[in-house]
Amino acid sequence: MTNYELPDETKVLVATPNYTNIFSAESHVNHIECACEWTRWGLPFSWTVVGRTFVHFARTQLCQVAIEAGFTHVFWVDDDAIITPEMLPRFISHDKDIVIAPYPMRRSPFQVGILSATSYVCKDCGEEGYDANGSVYEEDARCSNCDSKNVWRNFHTHGSYRNFTLKDLGRGLQPVDGGGTHAMLVKLDALTQRRGWPPPKFGEEIDAENKSYPPEMIRVYNALVNNLSEADKSTIDDFIGDLPDQSLTFKEEDETGKPYFLMPKTGTEDMYFCYRAKCKNIEIYCDTDVFASHVGFPSVITDDFTAEAERIKTLPEGEQSGVHLMKVDGNKQDEGRDHTGINAERVANLV
């Protein structure tokens, strides 16, 4: 840890939800190794495991404990994560709101669990479009209308998100739109202090820097919501779905009944947390120069394993020796090795 200078007040809660109350031998040994190294380095941390409760409940409880106890960071380390001890001081030294480690998913084709939108809004002409090359990096993207490179990634268009590949890595610290909490460091003052813009008022001109709400939601606010009474808005919050107010911090939302982590209608609690964070002007970065392995259907999925899975996907049909073509409803979805022995055509999700 000699290369990393950490603030004197650093105090980290290492947080691990563990619904099954069971650890694999691989992750258990790795976590003990990390704890020993952090202790030897004098890094102030406590490690808490919350078992036998749903993951979004556990994550919310751990955020509440960390803030009440005066920790400066939460370092999410999942119960199936394999990390290097150096990752924690490295992430702290970046001094960003959120830093995520790339990692492979547990199921074939073992995509990297970091995502960003490939839809961009041009700051010059205002056009929204998709980058022709599917770039997840703003520095590589161009406007499809005027060819300008002065664009911002529209993280509200969830349908344009794509997983990173290994070719997207190795570029240092990069802004991203989200990723798994597999190995993620969160500065707690981002949860207690950072806030986005208030909901739009009727006829109000939207500031160009206001990225807290998608344009279609602003239209709905202007057409419908701003004409409602406060009682009607409360009814919507209680029985239909809460109206977002991104000017509230995560902590303020938690105190009024909207927890730090929620399970969305589709997707995962960690990606939804990332989206809410982006709406509150919280910056999310991926350290693309590290990699966290994953205990999965193969014993431990590493970056080399992911590279082989990506290589297999590029082979022509008929040349994928030992490759299982995964199908859903008769349509080929992706290609990768079948390590499960399960008939993938009859299984919707093997994660």
What pLDDT score does 240 carry?
74
Residues 6+ apart with CB under 8 A from 257: none
249, 282 Cβ separation under 8 angstroms: no
CATH topology for 1-113+164-195+248-321?
Spore Coat Polysaccharide Biosynthesis Protein SpsA; Chain A (3.90.550)
Mean pLDDT per 10-residue interval, the chain, length 351 residues = 82 96 91 96 95 94 96 97 96 97 85 91 82 81 84 88 92 95 97 92 72 80 76 79 87 95 90 96 97 82 83 72 41 39 36 33
Q: Residue 88 and residue 1: Cα distance in Å, rounded?
A: 10
Tokens coding 7: 């603030």
Is 210 exposed, middle or buried, given 0-12, 13-18 or 19+ CB atoms closer than 10 A? middle
Q: Do domains 1-113+164-195+248-321 and 115-159 have the same CATH topology?
A: no
Q: Where are the domains of the chain?
A: 1-113+164-195+248-321, 115-159, 198-243
Q: Helix count (H) and strand count (E) of the chain?
A: 9, 18
DSSP per residue, 128-176 = EEE-TT--S-GGG---TTT--S-EEE-TT-GGGEEE--GGG-SSSEEE-
CATH label, 115-159, candidates 2.10.25, 1.20.120, 2.20.28, 2.40.50:
2.20.28
Tokens coding 206: 């939207």
User: The whole model's pTM is what?
Assistant: 0.83
Cα-Cα end-to-end distance for the chain: 35
Q: Residue 337 and residue 273: Cα distance in Å, rounded?
A: 31
- What amino acid occupies position 20? T
What pLDDT score does 151 carry?
85
What pLDDT score does 317 carry?
66
Q: Are strands 45-51 and 12-18 parallel, antiparallel or unpaired?
A: parallel
Tokens coding 36: 């020993």
